[in-house]
Amino acid sequence: MPRGSKKTGVSKPAAKADFNGKRPTINDIARLTGVSKKTVSRVINESPLVHQETREKVKLIIAKYGFTPDPMARGLASRKSFLVGMIYDNPSPQYIIDLQRGILDALATTGLQLVLRPADRAHPEFLTEMRSFVERQKLFGAVLPPSISEDERLAALLRELECPYVRIASVSLDEPGVMLVTNDHIGGREAAQHLADLGHKTIGHISGPLSFRSAHERRRGFIQELSGRGIDVPAKYIAEGSYTFESGYACATRLLALKPRPTAIFAGNDEMAAGVYRAARDANVELPRDLSVVGYDDSALSTRVWPTMTTVHVPIRSVGSMAASRLVRPTTHHSTEVVPNLVVRASTAPPLG
C-alpha cells in the first residue's frame, strides 16, 4: 500500500464480473443486505412498513451496485397498495368528516393514503361491491365505523380477502386486536343522570335508527339509568330517528305535541338534537326554560347553535386516529376503549315549577 494511503473499510463498487458479467438482481441485493426479497421490494416502492435502519442499509447497497429494479420486482410489493379504505354508511356528515380527519392524522407520516367508500349494507349487491372495491384497490387495510362495522358478513369477507381491518363499535364484536369500543351505553347513562339531577321527570328520547347498535346502546344506558331513579319513559315518549336533522325535527314535532309535553329530550346525536331546536321554535317552546335538550357526539354543531348544546362528548377525531394507528401497528392483546362524557352547556336547566 503506498505511503500515506489509508484503508477506509468501504470497498469500491463491485465490477459487473461480481455478478457473472450481468447487472445485479433483486435477489443479489437481498443477499448482500441480509434481508428478504420482499423487504427489498418494499424499499424500492417506498413502503412505510420498513424500519429506517433497514431502509438505509438497502438503499446504500442499491446505490453502491447500481441496481435498477425491473417491473416484476416492483410488482412484488404492489400486491398491496398504500391505500387505507374507510367504508361507511353513517348518515351524519360531521361524524364522517371528523373521523376522516383523525385517520389522516395517523397516516400523515406513514406514506399511506385514505380512500373513502360509502356503502349501503341493505343493498342486494353490497358484498359483491365490497369484494370488487377491496380487490380493485388492493387495500392495505380498512377502517370500519358504525354501523358498517356491525356487519359480520363484511368482516368475514375482509378476512377471506386477507385485508386487515379495524372495527369501531359501541360494544366489542370481534377479536380484541381489531376493535375500538366506544361504550355508547355510558354516554346514554350520563345524559340521563344529568336530566334527572336537574329534576326532569317527563322526558322524551329520539334514538338513532335501530339498525345501528349505537342507537340501542345509547337508549339502553339512558332508559336503565332513569329506571334506576324511578323515572319511567313510556313508549309514546320514545321516537326512532335516522341520525339526521330532518328526522330529529319530525320526531320532536310529534313529542312536543304530547300531553303532558316533555320537559326534556335526549337526542341520539347532535344532528337530531339540532332538529329538536327547530321543532321547539316552531312550537313556541323556549330553550332551556320550557325544554332542555341533550345531544350526542359533541360535534362542531353543538357550539354553533343557540343556546349552545349540552351533549355527550366522544373524541371522534381521536377515534379515527386510534383506529388507523391500530391498523398500521396491529396488536392482538387488547381492544382500544373510549369512554364518553357529558359536556354541560346552555341547553339544559331545571324544569319550570
The CATH number of whichever domain residue 164 belongs to comes to 3.40.50.2300
Residues 250 and 299 in one domain: yes
Mean pLDDT of 316-326: 96
Q: What range does the domain containing 247 cover?
A: 184-314
Distance CA 124, CA 129 (A): 10
Distance CA 323, CA 179 (A): 8
Residues 309 and 190 in one domain: yes
Cell numbers placing 103: 385517520
Task: Place 252 in a pLDDT band, splitting at 50, 70 and 90.
Answer: very high
Q: Is the pLDDT of residue 182 over 70?
A: yes
Residues 141 and 71 in one domain: no
State pLDDT tens for residues 3-58: 444 443 333 333 333 666 677 888 888 888 888 887 887 787 766 667 888 888 88
Cell numbers placing 301: 354543531
Percent of the residues in the chain that have a pLDDT greater than 90, as a whole number: 71
- What CATH number is given to the structural domain containing 24? 1.10.260.40
For residue 345, is it within any domain? no
Give the number of domains in the chain.
3
Instruction: Enter the pTM of the model.
Output: 0.77
Long-range contacts from 106-112, C-beta under 8 angstroms, 24+ separation: 106/320, 106/321, 106/322, 106/323, 106/324, 106/325, 106/328, 107/324, 107/328, 109/48, 110/48, 110/328, 111/46, 111/47, 111/48, 111/82, 112/48, 112/82, 112/83, 112/84, 112/140, 112/328
Rounded mean pLDDT of the chain?
89
Give all strands (DSSP E) within 46-101, no chain letters: 83-88
Distance CA 141, CA 340 (A): 27
Residues 309 and 211 in one domain: yes
Residues 193 and 243 in one domain: yes
